[in-house]
Amino acid sequence: MLNSIKTNHFEGNASKELGMMYFRVAIILFGAQLLMGLIAAIQFLVPGFLFELFDFSIARMVHINALVVWMLYAMIGATYFLLPDETDVEPIGIGLGKLGFWVLTAAVTVVVLVFIFVQVGAGTEASIWLITEGREYIEAPRWADIGIVVVVLIFYFNVFATFIKSSKKTGIMTVMIANLLALAGLYLAGMFYTDNISMDQFWWWWVIHLWVEATWEVFVGTLAAFALIKLIGAKREVVEMWLWIEVLMLFGSGILGMGHHYFWIGTPEYWWEIGALFSALEPVPLIAMFVHVLYDWGKEQGIAKAKGETGSVITNGPAMAWIVLNAFGNFLGAGIWGFFHTLPQVNIYTHGTQFTAAHGHLSFFGAYATILIGMMYIGVQGAYGAKRMKMNFNSKMGIFLTAFGVMGMTVALTIAGYEQVLVERAELGATWNAFFVAQNLPWYVQGQMWRAIMGVVTLIGFIYLAVDLLTIGKKAQAEEA
Amino acid sequence: MEDILIVRPEILPDAFLWIFTVSTLVLVFGVAYAATITLAKMGYFSKKWMNLGYLFWALQTYCLYDLSVQIQSEPFTTKVLMVSMMAYFFIPHLYFRLIEDSDKRYEQSADIAEHKN
Amino acid sequence: MANENLSVWTSIPFWRRSAAWVTGFASILLIWLTFDTLGQISMGNDADLKAGTTKRVPGPTVINYKITYEMSKKRGHEVPVIGEKEAFFGKSDYSEKEARALLHLGKLTSQAKNCMDCHTLLGNGAYYAPDLTKAWIDPAWSKTGPMMAMTGKSTREEAMAEFLMHPSTYPTHARMMPELGITAEEAKGLVAFLKHMSSIDTNGFPRNFGKEEGSTNAQ
């Protein structure tokens, strides 16, 4: 298996090889994430399943940590991959970067093994340092936090030094450099302990929110810009001008959109107004990104037609399909599913219900998984040196079943959440008893059942996707030979 | 400062479904408006269809107004929302203007722009 | 070279500068608000409690007092109200140091046992088990609720501690809490942590929380 992670086909392009190594681990972790999600979904329906052996909290912890880690892996991979193209120089420090990769992968393996086999610790500082920090999404123990920071510093140094060395300073790389610094720096806000739970959650959101609703979104904008140039030959100046406008809108709304997490954690009332205003603006850049991708695609196709070329301008079918899906998914998951429960008047009822879970599933998939998978396809195309890569049966099944499955889970969880809001929150007042009454409502239980079924659909889609990623490059190469 | 109070009114269980629906419609009509105007201007279909876009905009405005009533926003907030809908009316036009102008500028001066940055 | 016709709206440097300004402005505003908020959510102390000064996050010695959750006409929603002295594990004069140590143990335990990956705290976490924000004042643990009788304890804190130590011995529903190896001392700390959390001013979340003496229509 180690060999399959290492094998690459780039002629001496070490940075791209390293990018591919990150992609391979990312896809393995994606699979682990789906399996853990499936266990947790079954536990909602059959509470005795693996009880006191592999409890919901453990399955859920590995589920969300695998998610965060695979996305970070794919992001680092994507950055190493586009680095030589965007700078036109031999990237610096790739040997060190490879060492960092193996250190990080070893650390992730140890953390996951400890999560699975040790599970919980005693109420001491040692548990926080060695077993788990017990803070949703960033449960990794403190020793691993420090390790992650070191490896990310190596990564950032490589990217930064390459950028400085190159005489070509593209807009994409400029945004990337600034954004990665913010992304990495924010992790530090989640690395301390306090007895004050309000303070704890205040800083915890600095990591979580400023990642997923600000810096990660900008990262997606950067990847989309790179992909539009690479895949359909969009004009760099136009794409980069729009990238800056997107940065303006995403950071302009996203940074203060933080307010919507500060409604109920002990923080002052003024966050109601700030949170409502800025999170209402958050869908605006998503609409812009959506229209922009479609416009560019239409325009480039039109130009090619005018030149009398037949066929598509798209050089990589599956990658383009995933990137178009990203434009839709980002708007649906982050935009619509985010907006309808973000205003404080409504959020007091929906906060901490299955609505949040529905939003989480669709937005992580729509906004991030899609474009990162698109980048993996671009990586595969490069690895096999194929000029064109077309969708085949596996790619179609992969994209259709995962998208359909995630959408199905989202709708099912939304229905369950709606029941929960009505009965647990509006009628019964959110007590222990109210919680369990709502959990046993027929609509709620059926919602959970459909969620599990759609989870299986997603998993089947993932299998097609994984097979396709492993085989499509060779097929495209064989066709062109 | 201490006296500024915002009363969080009760939402009746029957009202929730409509609140969720109408807030979804705000964004759906919003994107439909932007898409119709953009596609019509790109020439994918006749300019007549732009009227349909304006209808989407009107529906979006109505939905947002209704949402603000349903969640019992204060009259001032409702007014602010309506003013922002007026602003949104111009967004797709402004947006298209930007795309078109930047296309013109950078397609023509391709080799000049290469040396910038 | 029709430079005079080039509009600023299509200029890359213009948008780059605007993006930098907007991002910088939003960041500075966030940092400024953060300083204000940190001041308001920093933990109070014993002197505040004795003087009756309202803090959004009271000091740890709040465990010496009775906590209720009442409608405030002025605020338009419910707020925690700190009342007269009340015994907590048979004692109502925890010193600042003792109470802080107990809260410290409880908060650490809540992280080491991963409470947040089943429950929500202040509404954040997983949705597999009830929200713990106001668990301390949940009617289920009152004299009229089922939990004291089930655990055979006569006070709220002892019932909670007993449940936390042996949760699957006292199943309330098919979905049970697993044994997490919580010791008696850790359980005491956790209950102190929960009691302290219930005293935090959460702007009325959760809304219309169940009252103790049958004021809801819960089954």
Q: Give the pLDDT of chain B (117 residues) as one tens digit per residue.
A: 344 445 556 788 888 889 999 999 998 999 899 888 888 888 888 888 899 999 999 999 999 999 988 888 878 888 888 888 888 898 888 888 887 888 788 876 544 444 433
Distance CA A390, CA A395 (A): 9
Residue with tokens 């922009």: A292
Task: Write phi, then psi, for B46 (nearest 5 degrees).
Answer: -65, 155
Is C112 close to A134, i.e. CB distance below 8 A?
Answer: yes
Is the CB of B105 inside 8 Å of chain C's CB atoms? yes
Distance CA A358, CA A362 (A): 6
What's the mean pLDDT when you consider all of chain C? 91
**Of residues A151, A150, A13, A33, the one with CA closest to residue A81:** A13
DSSP letters for A259-286: GGGSSSSS--THHHHHHHHHHHHTHHHH
Scanning A364-392, the segments in alpha helix (DSSP H) are 370-383
Domains and CATH numbers, chain C: 41-198 (1.10.760)
CA C186, distance to chain mean position in Å, is 18
**Which residue of chain A is at minimal alpha-carbon distance from B5?**
A269
Cα separation of the two ends of chain B: 49
Chains in contact with chain B (at least 3 beta-carbon pairs closer than 8 A) = A, C
**Contact present, A137 and A147 (Cβ < 8 Å):** no
C68 torsion bin: left (phi>0), alpha (psi -120 to 50), beta (else): beta
**Contact present, C211 and C139 (Cβ < 8 Å):** yes
Instruction: Decide: helix, strand or coil at residue C44.
Output: coil
What's the ipTM? Answer: 0.94
Provide, rounded to the nearest whole percent, the portion of chain C with pLDDT above 90.
81
For residues C16-27, average pLDDT: 96
**Which residue of chain B is at minimal alpha-carbon distance from C207?**
B10
- The pair of structure tokens assigned to C155 is 């006070």
What lies within 8 Å, CB to CB, of C123 at 6+ separation is A264, A265, A351, A352, C131, C133, C205, C206
Which pLDDT does position B73 carry in this prediction?
81
User: Any idea where the domains of chain B sit in the sequence?
Assistant: 14-107
Which pLDDT does position C2 carry in this prediction?
44
**Torsion of the alpha carbons at A313, A317, A321 and A324, rounded to the nearest 10:** -20
Distance CA A241, CA A245 (A): 6
- Segments in chain A below pLDDT 70: 1-9, 11-12, 310
Task: Write phi, then psi, for A196 (nearest 5 degrees).
Answer: -90, 110
**Of residues A63, A4, A73, A61, the one with CA closest to residue A32:** A63
Which pLDDT does position A9 carry in this prediction?
61
Domains and CATH numbers, chain A: 1-169 (1.20.210.10), 314-481 (1.20.210.10)
DSSP letters for A54-102: S-HHHHHHHHHHHHHHHHHHHHHHHHHHHHHHHH-SPPS-HHHHHHHHH
Distance (Å) from the alpha carbon of A438 to chain B's nearest alpha carbon: 14
The CA–CA distances, whole Å, from A295 to A246, A329, B54, C188 equal: 15, 17, 20, 61
| Closest Cβ–Cβ partner in A132, A357, A429 for C127 | A357
Which pLDDT does position C5 carry in this prediction?
58
**Contact present, A96 and A162 (Cβ < 8 Å):** no
Is B101 close to C10, i.e. CB distance below 8 A?
Answer: yes
Lowest mean pLDDT among A2-11, C9-18, C92-101: A2-11
Residues recorded for chain B: 117
Residues recorded for chain C: 219
| Closest Cβ–Cβ partner in B9, B13, B28 for A422 | B13
Distance CA A338, CA A324 (A): 20
What lies within 8 Å, CB to CB, of A150 at 6+ separation is A100, A103
